[in-house]
Structures are given as structure tokens and as C-alpha cells.
Amino acid sequence: MKKELITMLTWHDVTVENAKEIFLGAKDAPTKHWGFKIEGTTPESMKDLAACMKENGKTVYIEVLAMDEAKCLEAAKLCVECGVDHVLGTVYYDSVAKVLADGGIAYSPFVGLAPDSRLRGSIDSIIEKAQDAEKKNIYGINLSAFRYAEGDPEELLKRLAPSVSKPFSIAGSVDCYEKLDIVKALPNLYGFTIGGAFFEKKFGETFAEQITKVVDYLAD
């Protein structure tokens, strides 16, 4: 399975003020997949940014960090209004899955995420939660794998990958080529997000340059 880089216009879990400007400056870089978070936007700016991305042929992702059902449901309804393509995150709820399915939006909820946005639990328990989630009405699962607080992220990913059948994605903290090597080795990884690392220029200077470097490295 091809690994998709999902470029996030977020830094410290907030969509940056000049997100649209950055996107337009890097829209010709070699990735179709772009996203942001609700935090840092208004409903109007969120709709505008999503529309701009779609007008430029991009697949639009929203990462939702909310965990209680009411906030997750509110976020899901807003994503439907904005016409995004894929929601990454929330804790799984039947109500959220129904809203997104009715809106034609792919859904990859977090598995094993703790309130501090760290992945917690034993590897066996995380795999069990992932397998339970796969039985639901979802596209795939989403993991904050490189924020795994109770063990080695690489070991977790090596054990989880062959244990799940639906595509999975990795949220955040891919900030070096060593982690890209881990990503490249996962057979059923759908995609992974990079946001803060691009703002911190971990892979180069401009967004377009960094996107190109990461995509080229994945293709080697």
C-alpha cells in the first residue's frame, strides 16, 4: 500500500493563522493530501480553507482531538458542513460514525488515546482496541504511535501492522528520517501526518521543499 503524506497546516495542535497562504504557496508540491484542525479556525475560515483545497484537487482531512461524545458529534457535523473528505480522530462513537457516514466522509478514529493526547496501554491492549474498532462502521484507525508513552513506538507498530486488516494512519511526531524508515516498512499503513515538523523546518526550508523531500524519500 502506498503511504500517503498528509500535510497538516497545524503547529502545537492549532491551525496556523496563515494556513491558506501556506497552502497556496505549496499546492503544487507532490502530495494530494492536506489537512488541519478545527482549533484556530472559525466555521467560515474552515469552510473557505477546505473549499480552497478541494478546488485545487486535494483530499481534505480534519484531525479532531475532542474526546467526549458531545464535542466529537459537534465536530463531525461541522466537518460535514465544510465538505471535508476524511476525519482523523475523535474517540469512536456510533453517533459520530453515523453523521460522517451519512455525510460521505471517511472516518478513522483514534485508538488508545489518553486525555493528554498520548497513546497509552500495553501493546496487546492497543491491538485489541484496534481490532474491536475495525468491526465498526469506519474507514480505518488512527494512532498517535510516536507518542506512545508506555513502550517502544517501533515495536508497537511492528506488532500492530499485521494484526489489523483495515488501513491505519499515524498522527503526529514524524520529525526525522529514522521515523520515515519505520513508516516505510509498515505494509498496511495508509498515511501519516506531518505538521509541526514542517513548521520547525525538520526536512528543509519551505513547505514545498520539505513535502518533496519526504515524498521522494518514501518512494526510494
Tens-place pLDDT, residues 114-173: 888 889 999 999 999 999 999 999 999 999 999 999 999 999 999 999 999 999 999 989
Of 132, 126, 192, the closest CA to residue 160 belongs to 126
Is there a contact between 90 and 72 (Cβ–Cβ < 8 Å)? yes
* 22-39 per-position pLDDT tens digit: 999 999 999 999 999 999
Residue ranges per domain, the chain? 4-195
Please enumerate in sequence order all residues whose Cβ is within 8 A of that of 30, keeping only pairs 6 or more positions apart, or say none: 211, 212, 215, 216
15-36 residues labelled b (16+ CB within 10 A) or e (exposed) = bbeebbebbeebbebebebbbb
Q: Which fold has domain 4-195?
A: TIM Barrel (3.20.20)
Which whole-number Å values give the CA distances from 91 to 97, 129, 154, 184, in the listed order?
10, 11, 23, 26
Can you tell me the mean pLDDT for 5-27? 97
CA separation, residue 170 to residues 51, 96, 153, 174 (Å): 25, 20, 11, 9
Who wins on pLDDT, 167 or 1? 167
Distance CA 105, CA 126 (A): 25
pLDDT for 118 equals 86
pLDDT mean over 57-67: 96
Q: Span 94-107, mean pLDDT?
A: 97
pLDDT of residue 124: 96
Identify the band that residue 55 occupies on the pLDDT scale cut at 50, 70 and 90.
very high
Q: CA 111, CA 95: separation in Å to the nearest integer?
A: 17
Q: Is the sign of the CA dihedral 110, 116, 121, 123 positive or negative?
A: positive
Instruction: Please tell me the pTM assigned to this model.
Output: 0.96
